[in-house]
Amino acid sequence: MKKMSTLCFVLYCIVSQAQTVSTVTEGVFYDGFGITSNGDVYCSNFQGDGVFKYEFSTGNVTTFATGFTNPNGIGVTNDDRIYICEAGGGTIHIYDTDGSLLDTVTGLNNPTGVKYDAQEDRMLWVSYNQSSLNVLDPETNASEIMIQGAPLNGPSGIAFVGDQTYISNYNDRKIFRLEDNETLTEIAQLPAGAAQNNVLGFLTSKGDFLYGTQIGEHRIYRIDPETGEIFLFAGSTSGNADGDLETATFNFPNGILGDPTNDRIYISDAGTSNLRIIQDVSLNVDAFAKADTTIQLFSNSQNDSITIKGTFVPAQKYSIKVYGTSGQLVKTEEGITQEETLEVQLDTGTWSKGAYFVKIQTGEKTVTKKFIKQ
């Protein structure tokens, strides 16, 4: 009798109020975001030289500041000091909400993302070129490297859930938890299902979840930081469709920001430089209910096959796709569920050792799970 190891995960569906997407076409919203206490949103144009400001209360879009070389990540302190990464200029600029320059921190190596860590009263910033996580004292502007090198691989995203800090890599789409200010523990990795641009733009949080953009897939994923499970939150093919979240499309989504006081998530579509606004976002796991689709993934002791078992709604189309970490499609299985129970076995005997992503779609629900072939 073969020994079996089990990984269980459940598809979720939204049962709260409808989530909708709208578009703001004024301004150039291309890259990283920041938000002040009054709800004003700031976004950089990496391909240009400016940062734009969006006022949700009025809908006004204005140019906040210009003259940067590749402006990138933006962070805001609890007293509304706005930190802007100038990646191409090796500088972080500090502004007040009136647009007055308060200070500059120079001599930095390619600052890519910056966020305020309220737990420690400090600024954290990451360098893409240096693959480093750094701490910046908001009082003295002294900068110090906290972690450099692997597993960081072109980091860009910083987010917080509770008192936990999370860092994401742009290049390989991996997400890490910062532990004891000295260790990064991998919790998840976004899939690589696009033909190109399989990268993770930025990371944010909303309620109990992390959210990340997979630029080449034109999708936004929700990540449970406790379990590492990854769920498709929004997006499908490239497009600019507004309306219901389930059918809305995105065009190379890059920057992402969860509004901490309102049920909104902001997205910068790099393909159009438009601002996308997802409204009525559910705040926490209590706003989700288990769907009637439960799936289990088994790997046998010989590591020559995996078995996918699940309970489904009968007469429902399903799709199973397996990808390697570089995005290559390894296996596809499609069909129609005949009974409530489905069991599909995939032969992995010829597959190379390493990590794979199994993406399972049934109806409008999609979930991706990573597994390791030993």
The confidence score (pLDDT) of residue 292 equals 42
The confidence score (pLDDT) of residue 1 equals 29
Torsion sign across C-alpha atoms 244, 246, 248, 252: positive
Instruction: Summarize pLDDT for 216-256 with one digit per residue, the tens.
Output: 999 999 999 998 989 899 999 999 999 999 899 999 999 99
What distance in Å separates the CA atoms of residue 132 and residue 116, rounded to the nearest whole number? 17
pLDDT at residue 355 greater than cutoff 90: no
Q: What percent of the chain stands above pLDDT 90?
A: 64
Q: Count Cα neighbours of 241 within 13 Å in the Cβ-side half-sphere.
A: 14
Torsion sign across C-alpha atoms 327, 329, 334, 337: negative
Instruction: Summarize pLDDT for 44-101 with one digit per residue, the tens.
Output: 999 999 999 999 999 999 999 999 999 999 999 999 999 999 999 999 999 999 999 9
pLDDT at residue 267 greater than cutoff 90: yes
The confidence score (pLDDT) of residue 366 equals 66
pLDDT at residue 16 greater than cutoff 70: no
* Cα angle value 336/342/344 (rounded, 5°): 90
The confidence score (pLDDT) of residue 248 equals 95
Instruction: Summarize pLDDT for 102-156 with one digit per residue, the tens.
Output: 999 999 999 999 999 998 999 999 999 999 999 999 999 999 999 999 999 999 9
The confidence score (pLDDT) of residue 282 equals 64
pLDDT at residue 290 greater than cutoff 60: no
C-beta of residue 196 within 8 angstroms of C-beta of residue 235? no
The confidence score (pLDDT) of residue 312 equals 66
pLDDT-derived band at 349 (thresholds 50, 70, 90) equals confident
The confidence score (pLDDT) of residue 313 equals 65
The whole-number average pLDDT for the span 278-290 is: 56
The confidence score (pLDDT) of residue 42 equals 99
pLDDT-derived band at 287 (thresholds 50, 70, 90) equals very low
pLDDT at residue 285 greater than cutoff 70: no
- Name the more confident of 324 and 284: 324
pTM value > 0.85: no
pLDDT-derived band at 308 (thresholds 50, 70, 90) equals confident
What distance in Å separates the CA atoms of residue 95 and residue 103, rounded to the nearest whole number? 7
Tell which residue, 288, 295, 289, has the closest CA to residue 340: 295
pLDDT-derived band at 342 (thresholds 50, 70, 90) equals confident
C-beta of residue 266 within 8 angstroms of C-beta of residue 254? no
Q: Count Cα neighbours of 234 within 13 Å in the Cβ-side half-sphere.
A: 30
Write down all domains in the chain, each with its CATH number in brackets.
20-283 (2.120.10.30), 291-373 (2.60.40.3080)
Instruction: Summarize pLDDT for 181-215 with one digit per residue, the tens.
Output: 999 999 999 999 998 999 999 999 998 899 999 99
pLDDT-derived band at 363 (thresholds 50, 70, 90) equals low
The confidence score (pLDDT) of residue 327 equals 62
Tell which residue, 26, 22, 57, 23, has the closest CA to residue 261: 57
Edge-to-edge strand ranges of the sheet holding 4-14? 4-14, 288-300, 305-311, 341-347
The whole-number average pLDDT for the span 355-369 is: 72
pLDDT at residue 163 greater than cutoff 50: yes
The confidence score (pLDDT) of residue 6 equals 30
What distance in Å separates the CA atoms of residue 75 and residue 114, rounded to the nearest whole number? 5
What distance in Å separates the CA atoms of residue 370 and residue 285, rounded to the nearest whole number? 21
pLDDT at residue 293 greater than cutoff 50: no
- Name the more confident of 320 and 287: 320
DSSP per position, 44-76: E-TTSS-EEEE-TTT--EEEEE---SSEEEEEE
pLDDT at residue 37 greater than cutoff 50: yes
The whole-number average pLDDT for the span 329-341 is: 79
pLDDT-derived band at 347 (thresholds 50, 70, 90) equals confident
The long-range contacts involving 74-77, CB below 8 angstroms and separated by at least 24 positions, are 74/32, 74/33, 74/34, 74/42, 74/43, 74/44, 74/114, 75/34, 75/113, 75/114, 75/115, 75/116, 75/123, 75/125, 75/158, 76/34, 76/35, 76/36, 76/42, 76/116, 77/116, 77/123, 77/138
